[in-house]
Amino acid sequence: MATPARFPDAYPPDGSGANLADILERVLDKGIVIAGDIRINLLDIELLTIKLRLIVASMDKAKEMGIDWWEDDPALSTGARRRELAAENDELKERIAALESARNAEVAQSATREKRAASAKRERGAVTDESRS
């Protein structure tokens, strides 16, 4: 009678195998990339293509690779949120300054028009008084 084939043990009894923590440490230290594409075609017409890229690495390793998008994402970083709010604040200050200068220019023009109108009115009054004399 034949003996059934035996699968190897997941954890060898001699202790030479790596446990999950060791594997995770190695993966985070080195980094791992999983890539794939999903394409949906209908009658040889490409309707949709989704490119998937998954990188599993420690933050230090990711920064070494030049990946630091989370630092600029306001949803994930308080520093990015502060920078975004500061930029918005600066933009609003510029808009307020522009509106105030436009308003001041309008007020100055209005005052100039009023002075001219008053001066013209006085001149007409003086001319009328002289013609009566």
pLDDT at res. 67: 80
In this predicted structure, what is the pLDDT of residue 63?
Answer: 83
Contact 36, 52 (CB under 8 A): yes
The predicted pLDDT at position 15 comes to 54
pLDDT at 10 (0 to 100): 54
Residue range 31-76, pLDDT digits in tens: 888 889 999 999 988 899 999 888 888 888 888 888 887 777 777 7
Residue 63 makes CB contacts below 8 A (sequence gap 6+) with: none
**123, pLDDT greater than 60:** yes
Tell me the per-residue pLDDT of 7-24, one tens digit each, with 9 for 90 and over. Answer: 555 555 555 567 888 888
Partnered with residue 50 across adjacent β-strands are 38
Q: Confidence band (pLDDT; 50, 70, 90) for 99?
A: very high
Q: What is the mean pLDDT of the chain?
A: 80
Query: What is the pLDDT at residue 16?
Result: 54
Pinpoint the alpha helices (H) of the chain: 20-30, 59-64, 78-132
Looking at residue 94, what is its pLDDT? 95
| Whole-angstrom distance, CA of residue 28 vs CA of residue 8 | 27
Phi, psi torsion values for 104, nearest 5 degrees: -65, -40
